[in-house]
Structure 1
């Protein structure tokens, strides 16, 4: 595919806004923020309804991005940087963004040409005015655009950049401004609130402020010349973006180590080449005075991204720019130093890892506007701005009176001790599975994929949240007969995969499971799970640990009369003898409840019986399941201390003349097999070495399925759409309350790729007759940044592997994606590519070569999403 983005005509953008608004959303934002028009901040002589918005970057490159950010609550838009090199003159390695934890990027300014960028900003200006007036999102003068230009004075003075600056100051005579105004007037009959007078009143002054973006290594005298030029010659309120290298190499290295970011590799090269703090302070004093003399605002933007070496192949190239949580510490320390040295008089705009957890404190200390990027690149996307808007909804919009350096110190200390802002001590397990991303029906719950027994987590989480504890426990017991044990000591591999880890912390799935067990236990014991019709077969399980108990439970429910023989006085195996008696990680009463659940399923439990000869068992039982654990008492020291067992159970099998195959079935020699009517299986730690309880349950399920010839059915409960969407984009830590209610129900609504795409290049379609939603990739809106790959739980990447809509046949030819192009919308003529084969297709006709779901999807696009069809 091509990484060149195509500008969407203003009419298409307007159709998109109006049609999607009828469904309760705008550019994918389902919780539009409604500003209080009676209160606003003020900066640059203009009103500002909220003191935040998207930073110069991917979220301010295209008109639809800016409109989505506005709908969600942003009101200050730092437009993506323009420079003399533009369009095809800039080579950006792709993919260029990854934001799994801290964020990295290898791009720096708009990938559009400067004239194209100008047109996007003007279209966005009109879109925001329309939404403010027509939908009542806020006052028509309650938002601001802020230019970002770089990277040297010579480039800024070129005719191309100079024209851009002047047109942003007054766009009235530009073709795009005239065309947008003409379109609105032509379609006035479609509007309820926007009038011709309103359209005529849309101001042509898009910007009266600018942020100077300088590359690392820019000399201080060059920075000062640029700022002086913009203040004195261009009469613009001017902020200068500073680099975190102002702090010095030693301080930064120590700070990154203290906060857990020891993996970041960087030398002192940039620290030597960049503006030095001792030079910065007097320069900023001169510029601040120049601003006062010109009657304009001057300040600093904190901070630029931080360059680090590429060592783990995160992105292509040798160096990348870091932002996000670690940048917060750097930027806030720069803010502290400058505020102290300027006694709080220097105006500061902020963009360094801010999010919903910190933005109130940042603004409270007198630092605003605050712009964000990394938090918007994570699941929840633009919707995260709506939470920030609500944070300020009841706050007074105070005028700038200075920056409180003491509050900066307090915030640094508060955040420094929060685990969320530190790098985890060890790398998280890769959340992506190994399965190919399907063209349709791709929603799935990563937690369930990460669980060895594929527990129906989202189903029982919903039931627990609704207070239906017995029903939740019954769902759990279908695949997990040890809910008390696993609810207490499970390694919770499911939580390692939870989508919420990209928000703040994973949902506490294990706690909710235990809650279901505790509160649903009595009701379930009164009416335990019913076994299937008796098969007439019998089984004996040797060993009453987690593996043996689980195998017996599944066999009994499957209609096999099952007995467990355990040499110890109590069931529980290593969980009781070691984790309970020695490690004190679990109590005996918890284990006893699971044992009683096993008995309630019809399993006969026998203690104090040591099996030393399998021959007698082969005579009495159809099936034998060996679950002797990691060490057999006759061959190894019992696990009653911290000493490791000296003999694995697998060796016990071999010494007994038995071998375990890949299906956990014990293979007998020919003579024994010929005389035995039993089929012997091995399960648990004896076959794999010491493992987790849940892995033992998984192996036991496999053995039971092999014997029964069946498998447990999945339980799926469709989540309530409104409940799910109300949680999207909201950062909130787990509360002390018993139930963790933060589940995002990914198997019902997994829309990560939609949310994390700044350009809206992945969209959600509700296709009649199909599952709840489908994802369509829009080729011409994608610049291959790669961010959707990071957060998709499948092995693939949505921008490469999802069914794709192309703008024209040439774009399709330039791509390898499976997808379609609408050749003639009126006739429904399409060209489709599937598995590398080109097919002609007419919407509404049958064609067995094309899957029915894809035919429905294409028909929906032509009928109801025609604004996506551009030329």
Structure 2
């Protein structure tokens, strides 16, 4: 495997494009239904050139190769900012790999093209011709509707070098260059391929590829150097010029405070950049002088806002010590700098904008008068180039001719609004990673991360799709396969499935829990009424001690599969903490009753008000299997120094409040210690208690690290509850809670920044302190029944949750302490399956059959939209279990390819990797839901024997296409020579992939 890209000859691209379009309906994987057509007839004018859209890729991964530029153009880009070139190039430039991490805010450790300057030039010329051909053939426009903008760096001496000067001169007039002549001759030879592109169109193609240039300088470049470069381009080269400016112009204090306000406090800045970079006043003075010069030369000078922001690498985001930040975290900084400069020049300043631009802000930026707008991080995310089509359609109404200045007031307001815009605040996506622990399969890799992320592996895409179709009965039937408590989990589940949803990399998760609730409210009662208890299929009996979520779930799964089940509980009714602790405003008794009635209808027997202190010896005489599900009800450790017995347990407090309808006495000032869901319940209940005036949450980290459901946190805050962050409680005495102030340190093993004590103390009014930091299990009761415990006094169980005593199981909170309801259901599934297997019975946890409208799913790719509050939100689901292809979406170079195959596969859609088009940027590995890396782990096609031999990837090289001779590295890593049609040791899957590639994708060979 090599990280060196193999450039595709112009003639090859020219034949590849029409063949793929004819046979696959796409060009470099971009489907034709995503091609952009501006049918308004409107254009913008930029440097005397007319464009049918004011947007395009920023200088970066999506504008490095000819195929990148073609994909960007097809989807609506008309301003193409070519990737930066510099005097150090090719093998002389060292780029650490992987070099891109666009998981949330973007980071990169590469600056300029990895190609030689001459190779980059060839790519841009090839793209120039291809866009002219496509413009005519696809009937995008009758006249050129796009422009290229070159980007060069990084100092004047390098820019004046023979290598870079030749590049610039070639871009100013390419007609005498070798690649220009090659492209012309190739087009003339293949002119019969075209129906719309004629020789006169070829003759009209301008020799001038770029009239404009963007200056890119390294951090620390002196103002005099930048001004010297700009002066050189204006006076000596006659180029319209943009100067890239850095967010460091805003000053370290502003940048740090803004990032902190937006929730990006973990981004580590290097203060030296703020000292050594161009200073704001120097930059303004320089621009004034350059504007005067440009006007004298009848040219224009502008700024490119902004360059990336340097940040320290502290958590192995990328290799090295420093990386460059981009994307949504940069937006409030870039737009603030734009506003500041626009005010400085009274709106008379050309700005090319590129700091965190995306679908949600493009129209707002353009409405201020700024144009063009370029983007990089947004199109490195799922949806990839398809995102551009949506953006291009959105901004059509802002295409309005000549630049007439910037509306200062609009821009100033936009800068202020950015600080509160959810799309750019960290809290919108606090999930560190969507990745699963699964290995990336070589074949059949499509997977629904939401289903795998759900502890009970619910068939989420299936029921979401059915809810969207308003087929509520069918949807509920799918839910009930795996979920014994659908009403409860549709109301108070912590919905970790949504932390794995692919839509997080677009906008926000699909509202999975809410969609489940739609099905519950519309179908559960009918489902329950239609239940007929299954016949008993075994003479073995099961007793479950504990009628909480874990116990009842086990009972349902066993009873519906023909097992006699009895549930016993010390309380007078079922569902434990859900019934007795969780407040009514969070889940109503009606929703709890729905689930209990469904379980009861299965034929489960119940015995309530039974002594909890069971004896296994006695139970084993009457029952064949015993399942212990008594929960964790013992109060957790109270480390608070309590001088006046003013600290109470949260569970006890909640239970008492629910039993007595809130008629308790806890004083005026209440503090709740903890950041979980129990803490949120406690503060909200305390707020409703008569006589309480102030309720505070005391948490040792900050809000974004609280484990509670984010909706519950926001609800608590909206009800007037105070969030006291970075405080560690020490003691309570005389109505005052003493706390140590904390600060956040480096990331710990939990993936959160660790709280570190500062030694500074603070006192908070507190008549009562409620401790919500976890309950304990009754280890003594287990020990008395001869159940082996580990060093932490938890029961020792095997993978089936069976204890050292045969046929005795421990599940739910009793297993490891307080957990979620859905994890209790997962335990129930595990135990039920084990008992059913022992009894020779099959379980009905079967995958549902559902038809997926692939056309509809593909149409959703690249479409960003805020979530809805009803079943229409189902239409945001991407059905990842049927169509994933994220690695294809996010590859700038189109090095990952979907091939349609037949044979021994679960899916007809398989992913192969094109080694020659890959530079190992690593972006596909970031977004693949598995823990693998597609560019290393998928079947790889090699274009040369040398590349095959230098790689360890499983895959093949076609040595002789006519004779069908291939060199193959098998799934086991063996290298063999194989001839198509002959029996060898290669797998049927590998054979099918090779045949498919040769027969149906020969244009890529």
- Bin of the TM-score, shorter chain as denominator length: over 0.9
Q: Does 1:151 align with 2:287?
A: no
- Written as runs of structure 1 = structure 2, the 5 A alignment for 1:441-452 is 441-452=444-455
| Gap change, CA 1:84 and 1:646, over 3 Å in 2 | closer
Question: In the alignment, is the contact (CA less than 8 A) between 1:36 and 1:393 conserved in 2?
Answer: no
Question: In the alignment, is the contact (CA less than 8 A) between 1:554 and 1:701 conserved in 2?
Answer: yes
* Aligned match for 2:325, one of 301, 308, 322: 322
Contiguous gaps of at least 5 residues in structure 1: 674-678
Q: Report SS of the residue matched to 2:969.
A: strand
Aligned to 1:285: 288
Q: Does 1:466 align with 2:595?
A: no
Question: In the alignment, is the contact (CA less than 8 A) between 1:32 and 1:137 conserved in 2?
Answer: no
> Following the alignment from structure 2 to structure 1, what is the Cα–Cα distance between the partners of residues 435 and 780?
35
| Gap change, CA 1:823 and 1:533, over 3 Å in 2 | farther
Aligned to 1:676: none
Q: Post-superposition shift, 1:829? A: 1.1
| Gap change, CA 1:426 and 1:101, over 3 Å in 2 | closer
Question: In the alignment, is the contact (CA less than 8 A) between 2:515 and 2:870 conserved in 1?
Answer: no
What do the CA deviations read for 1:235-256 (whole angstroms, capped 9, x no partner)?
1111111111111111111111
What do the CA deviations read for 1:713-764 (whole angstroms, capped 9, x no partner)?
2335352111111111111110233442211111111111111111111111
| Gap change, CA 1:195 and 1:38, over 3 Å in 2 | same
- Written as runs of structure 1 = structure 2, the 5 A alignment for 1:124-523 is 124-424=127-427, 428-523=431-526
Q: Does 1:17 align with 2:20?
A: no
> Following the alignment from structure 2 to structure 1, what is the Cα–Cα distance between the partners of residues 99 and 926?
12
Aligned to 1:4: 4
> Following the alignment from structure 1 to structure 2, what is the Cα–Cα distance between the partners of residues 270 and 631?
55
Q: Does 1:822 align with 2:958?
A: yes
Aligned to 2:824: 696
Aligned to 1:628: 630
What do the CA deviations read for 1:751-784 (whole angstroms, capped 9, x no partner)?
1111111111111111134413111111111111
> Following the alignment from structure 1 to structure 2, what is the Cα–Cα distance between the partners of residues 241 and 52?
17
Q: Does 1:736 align with 2:865?
A: no
Q: Post-superposition shift, 1:414? A: 2.3
> Following the alignment from structure 2 to structure 1, what is the Cα–Cα distance between the partners of residues 886 and 257?
35
Question: In the alignment, is the contact (CA less than 8 A) between 1:212 and 1:238 conserved in 2?
Answer: yes
Aligned to 1:649: 778
TM-score when normalising by structure 1: 0.95
Aligned to 2:848: 715
- Written as runs of structure 1 = structure 2, the 5 A alignment for 1:766-781 is 766-769=900-903, 770=905, 771-781=907-917
Question: In the alignment, is the contact (CA less than 8 A) between 2:38 and 2:140 conserved in 1?
Answer: yes
Q: Post-superposition shift, 1:566? A: 2.4
Q: Does 1:687 align with 2:824?
A: no
Aligned to 2:885: 751
Question: In the alignment, is the contact (CA less than 8 A) between 2:353 and 2:371 conserved in 1?
Answer: yes
| Gap change, CA 1:294 and 1:647, over 3 Å in 2 | closer
Greater Cα offset, 695-704 or 653-662: 653-662
Question: In the alignment, is the contact (CA less than 8 A) between 2:19 and 2:1003 conserved in 1?
Answer: no
Aligned to 2:29: 28
Q: Report SS of the residue matched to 2:846.
A: coil
* Aligned match for 2:53, one of 28, 50, 53: 50
> Following the alignment from structure 1 to structure 2, what is the Cα–Cα distance between the partners of residues 81 and 706?
61
Question: In the alignment, is the contact (CA less than 8 A) between 2:360 and 2:423 conserved in 1?
Answer: no
Question: In the alignment, is the contact (CA less than 8 A) between 2:381 and 2:890 conserved in 1?
Answer: yes
> Following the alignment from structure 2 to structure 1, what is the Cα–Cα distance between the partners of residues 594 and 194?
65
- Written as runs of structure 1 = structure 2, the 5 A alignment for 1:805-816 is 805-816=941-952
Q: Post-superposition shift, 1:656? A: 2.5
| Gap change, CA 1:13 and 1:650, over 3 Å in 2 | farther
Q: Report SS of the residue matched to 1:625.
A: strand
Question: In the alignment, is the contact (CA less than 8 A) between 1:10 and 1:123 conserved in 2?
Answer: yes
> Following the alignment from structure 2 to structure 1, what is the Cα–Cα distance between the partners of residues 854 and 17?
21
> Following the alignment from structure 2 to structure 1, what is the Cα–Cα distance between the partners of residues 375 and 403?
20
- Written as runs of structure 1 = structure 2, the 5 A alignment for 1:462-611 is 462-528=465-531, 531=534, 534-580=537-583, 584-611=585-612
Q: Report SS of the residue matched to 1:476.
A: helix
Q: Report SS of the residue matched to 2:385.
A: helix
What do the CA deviations read for 1:597-642 (whole angstroms, capped 9, x no partner)?
1122222233333354445543433322221121389xx9978256
Q: Post-superposition shift, 1:129? A: 1.1
Number of matched pairs: 855
| Gap change, CA 1:524 and 1:240, over 3 Å in 2 | same
Q: Post-superposition shift, 1:181? A: 2.1
Greater Cα offset, 855-864 or 616-625: 616-625
Q: Report SS of the residue matched to 2:256.
A: helix
Question: In the alignment, is the contact (CA less than 8 A) between 1:260 and 1:425 conserved in 2?
Answer: no
Contiguous gaps of at least 5 residues in structure 2: 636-648, 657-769, 789-794
Q: Post-superposition shift, 1:529? A: 7.2
Q: Report SS of the residue matched to 1:764.
A: strand
Greater Cα offset, 241-250 or 617-626: 617-626
Question: In the alignment, is the contact (CA less than 8 A) between 2:82 and 2:148 conserved in 1?
Answer: yes
> Following the alignment from structure 2 to structure 1, what is the Cα–Cα distance between the partners of residues 107 and 825?
40
> Following the alignment from structure 1 to structure 2, what is the Cα–Cα distance between the partners of residues 122 and 111?
17
Q: Report SS of the residue matched to 2:655.
A: coil
Question: In the alignment, is the contact (CA less than 8 A) between 2:446 and 2:881 conserved in 1?
Answer: yes
| Gap change, CA 1:596 and 1:15, over 3 Å in 2 | farther
> Following the alignment from structure 2 to structure 1, what is the Cα–Cα distance between the partners of residues 77 and 321?
34
> Following the alignment from structure 1 to structure 2, what is the Cα–Cα distance between the partners of residues 766 and 707?
42
Question: In the alignment, is the contact (CA less than 8 A) between 1:458 and 1:745 conserved in 2?
Answer: yes
Q: Does 1:838 align with 2:967?
A: no
| Gap change, CA 1:121 and 1:429, over 3 Å in 2 | closer
Greater Cα offset, 80-89 or 709-718: 709-718
Question: In the alignment, is the contact (CA less than 8 A) between 1:36 and 1:49 conserved in 2?
Answer: no
Q: Report SS of the residue matched to 1:35.
A: coil
> Following the alignment from structure 2 to structure 1, what is the Cα–Cα distance between the partners of residues 808 and 419?
57
| Gap change, CA 1:529 and 1:20, over 3 Å in 2 | farther
Question: In the alignment, is the contact (CA less than 8 A) between 2:498 and 2:510 conserved in 1?
Answer: yes
What do the CA deviations read for 1:647-671 (whole angstroms, capped 9, x no partner)?
5134322123334522322434xxx
> Following the alignment from structure 1 to structure 2, what is the Cα–Cα distance between the partners of residues 694 and 746?
22
> Following the alignment from structure 1 to structure 2, what is the Cα–Cα distance between the partners of residues 531 and 734?
40
What do the CA deviations read for 1:785-812 (whole angstroms, capped 9, x no partner)?
1111111111111111111111111111
Greater Cα offset, 699-708 or 528-537: 528-537
> Following the alignment from structure 1 to structure 2, what is the Cα–Cα distance between the partners of residues 426 and 462?
24
* Aligned match for 1:858, one of 994, 997, 1000: 994
> Following the alignment from structure 2 to structure 1, what is the Cα–Cα distance between the partners of residues 506 and 893?
21
